[in-house]
Amino acid sequence: MVELGEKEFLDRREVVQSLLAERENCLVVSGLGSPTYDVHAAGDRDENFYLWGGMGGASMIGLGLAIAQPQKTIIVITGDGEQLMGIGSLSTIGILKPKNLLIIVLDNEHFGETGMQKSHTFHAVDLARIASASGCPKSILVSDKSSLVELLEIKKTLSCFTFAVIKVSQSTAPRSLPMVEGVKMQKRFRLSLGLK
């Protein structure tokens, strides 16, 4: 695992805007709750797959897309609570090591969807080290602006399965709600890939 910078809480909306400012040839999967609002606020696109109600599944959806669409860069943006629920997925992804998959965990160390209780990461559970121990070739902790810039450079030349934990503040931004009807969203996403 690579630890980049000293611990500092970043603004989640600014972080996601930076990550998605350049997304040529990218498909984006967002975990439920705040990560979905953040991705939508950064710009609604047909290539965005918003996860509603499938807590714990964002990383595995990303894995499926990485396998099915090897010519695309797959970016999963999720939260610490959602990734903790799907922690076992890191073992499977770590074995398969899709070179086109970037999983980003926005870690505010709290369960934002259930009342802002302290999450496991507040109590020293280290998701980046778990990913590394699960076989992830590049696992990064981003905790300041300079290390975010380093992550943006890695994203531009993604060459291996990369897992990044970004420490973000607990502050909440106004909800930016994308479509919530699953069938319409799925159809839109498939059409963006030239599928019926």
Q: What is the CATH number of the domain that holds 76?
A: 3.40.50.970
Q: Which of 1-10, 37-46, 68-77, 187-196 bottoms out in mean pLDDT, i.e. has the lowest? A: 1-10
Contact assessment for residue 148 and residue 18, using Cβ atoms and an 8 Å cutoff: yes
Cα–Cα distance, 176 to 98 (Å, whole number):
31
Q: Which of 47-51, 80-84, 89-93 bottoms out in mean pLDDT, i.e. has the lowest? A: 80-84
Distance in angstroms between the alpha carbons of the first and the last residue of the chain: 40
Average pLDDT of the residues of the chain: 89
Q: Where do the H-state alpha helices sit in the chain?
A: 12-20, 34-41, 58-68, 80-85, 89-96, 127-133, 145-156, 182-192
Please report, for residues 27, 35, 69, 135, 153, the alpha-carbon distance to residue 74 in angstroms, rounded to integers and kept in the order given.
5, 15, 8, 18, 16
pTM for this prediction: 0.91
Domain count of the fold of the chain: 1
Residue 141 pairs in a beta bridge with 3, 165
Domain residue limits at 102: 2-192
Q: What would the pLDDT profile of 94-133 be if each residue is shown by its tens digit? A: 999 999 999 999 988 766 666 557 787 778 889 999 999 9
